[in-house]
């Protein structure tokens, strides 16, 4: 059974090879949420994820014979890079099996750490089976992403650091995928302070641990922006720890996670992936659960696809009223566009896009429909722009 001593021993193995990331208060997030929020910046690790803690702890305990044969791991993301990086440091051969759909940037980054990347299967399950087959065929040591006590012990070292810096935390909020992180964190934190609360967070689209521990039957989704915790089957080892030590589990939706990613980028100036923002998403979704408490939150990773980040930023700007789309109907005469743009400018908005529509409209043939995408300050500012255009005799609709 995983113990506090296992995690303290792991901390000794990791010292000097893994960054002891800062755990500091966010005054702004504390004001917004009503809790005293402390952030653990695991996205500052060399591979931008806590996963390298568990990977190194596992690799450091290989026997000379196992090191000589090498290791194999299955992952489409952070675990792959953690294993590849530290295997390269230790001079251990690493084979990483990734599904064929893995984004090219992740494949090349993993190769860049010296690993042999094998693309196989159309799902994580198929990649996992191929990794097991390679381990059997080539005598490689399989490095599981979460259902391994040595992996969980490595992940738990970050809780030792958090409580060394902030010993009076009331509770820790931890994202749950397969459960390796929360198993290690809960074991370490409860070992040091039995009264501390451990709150797990899962996305509503992948409530696998929630279902397993609560005997629930919530439906599973097919995708989520929190891909790092998109696990359909939790670990057996980790499930036992969660059932024994975790005080509560909360579910968050995609909108909560999007909002949390954007808030961390704007407020803390730090880039966090969807899974890494799940803790803040829980605070935003369930503020009454954390009000007045001293909360430790783990920003578990910062590996996010740039196109996904761009979409999150754009959608967030729309929700907050900083990006708006309106349709203006006016008589199709020379100078009408100049009048519209001058009115928008006088109202203090910036035009990002303009589209004329003459044919595909129900307006009279002498009229034109002009669609504008505007950069605005907030929702009240959008109303001001619309009122200014209406005052000029134009028909305006927000889209």
Active site residues per annotation: 51, 300
What is the layout of strands, in order, in the sheet containing 36-41?
A: 23-25, 36-41, 294-299, 171-175, 197-203, 248-252
Contact by Cβ (8 Å): 36, 30: yes
Contact by Cβ (8 Å): 147, 236: yes
Terminal Cα-to-Cα distance of the chain (whole angstroms): 57
Contact by Cβ (8 Å): 377, 322: yes
Among 137, 135, 118, 42, smallest CA distance to 82 is for 42
Grouping H, G, I as helix, E, B as strand and the rest as coil, residue 394 is coil
Q: How far apart are CA 298 and CA 49, in angstroms?
A: 10
Structure tokens at 46: 């060399």
Q: Which residue's structure tokens are 């009076």? A: 168
Q: How far apart are CA 164 and CA 190, in angstroms?
A: 14
CA angle 255, 49, 105 (to 5 degrees): 80
DSSP string, 54-68: HHHHHHHT--HHHHH
Instruction: Report which DSSP code applies to 42.
Output: G
Q: Residue 398 CA to chain centroid, in angstroms?
A: 32
Helix 78-90 and helix 104-112, axial crossing angle in degrees, nearest 10: 10
Grouping H, G, I as helix, E, B as strand and the rest as coil, residue 335 is coil
Structure tokens at 150: 């040595």
Q: How far apart are CA 320 and CA 379, in angstroms?
A: 7
Grouping H, G, I as helix, E, B as strand and the rest as coil, residue 43 is helix
């Amino acid at each position: 059974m995983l113990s506090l001593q296992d995690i303290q021993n792991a901390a000794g193995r990791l010292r000097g090879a893994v960054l002891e990331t800062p755990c500091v208060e966010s005054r702004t997030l504390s004001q917004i949420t009503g809790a005293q929020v402390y952030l653990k910046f695991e996205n500052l690790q060399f591979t931008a994820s806590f996963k390298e803690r568990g990977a190194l702890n596992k690799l450091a305990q290989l026997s000379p014979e196992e090191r000589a044969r090498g290791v194999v791991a299955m992952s489409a993301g952070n675990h792959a890079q953690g294993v590849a990086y530290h295997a390269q440091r230790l001079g251990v051969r690493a084979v990483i099996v990734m599904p064929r759909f893995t984004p090219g940037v992740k494949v090349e980054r993993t190769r860049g750490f010296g690993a042999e990347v094998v693309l196989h299967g159309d799902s994580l399950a198929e990649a996992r089976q191929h990794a097991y087959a390679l381990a059997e065929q080539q005598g490689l040591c399989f490095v599981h992403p979460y259902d391994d006590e040595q992996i969980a012990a490595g992940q738990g070292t970050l809780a030792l650091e958090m409580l060394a810096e902030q010993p009076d935390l009331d509770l820790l909020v931890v994202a749950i995928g397969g459960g390796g992180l929360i198993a290690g964190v809960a074991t370490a934190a409860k070992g040091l302070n039995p009264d501390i609360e451990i709150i797990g967070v899962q996305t509503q689209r992948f409530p696998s641990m929630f279902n397993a521990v609560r005997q629930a039957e919530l439906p599973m989704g097919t995708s989520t922006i929190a891909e790092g915790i998109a696990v359909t089957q939790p670990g057996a080892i980790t499930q036992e720890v969660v059932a024994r030590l975790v005080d509560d589990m909360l579910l968050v939706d995609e909108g909560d996670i999007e909002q949390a990613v954007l808030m961390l980028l704007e407020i803390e100036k730090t880039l966090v992936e969807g899974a890494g923002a799940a803790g803040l998403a829980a605070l935003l979704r369930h503020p009454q659960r954390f009000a007045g408490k001293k909360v430790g939150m783990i920003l578990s990773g910062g590996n996010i696809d740039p196109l996904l980040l761009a979409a999150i930023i754009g959608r967030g700007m729309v929700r907050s009223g900083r990006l708006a789309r309106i349709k203006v109907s006016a008589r199709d005469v020379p100078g009408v566009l100049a009048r519209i743009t001058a009115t928008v400018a006088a109202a203090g908005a910036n035009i990002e896009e303009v589209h004329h529509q003459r044919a595909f409209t129900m307006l009279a043939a002498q009229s034109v429909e002009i669609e504008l995408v505007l950069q605005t300050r907030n929702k009240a500012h959008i109303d001001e722009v619309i009122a200014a255009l209406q005052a000029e005799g134009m028909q305006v609709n927000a889209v």
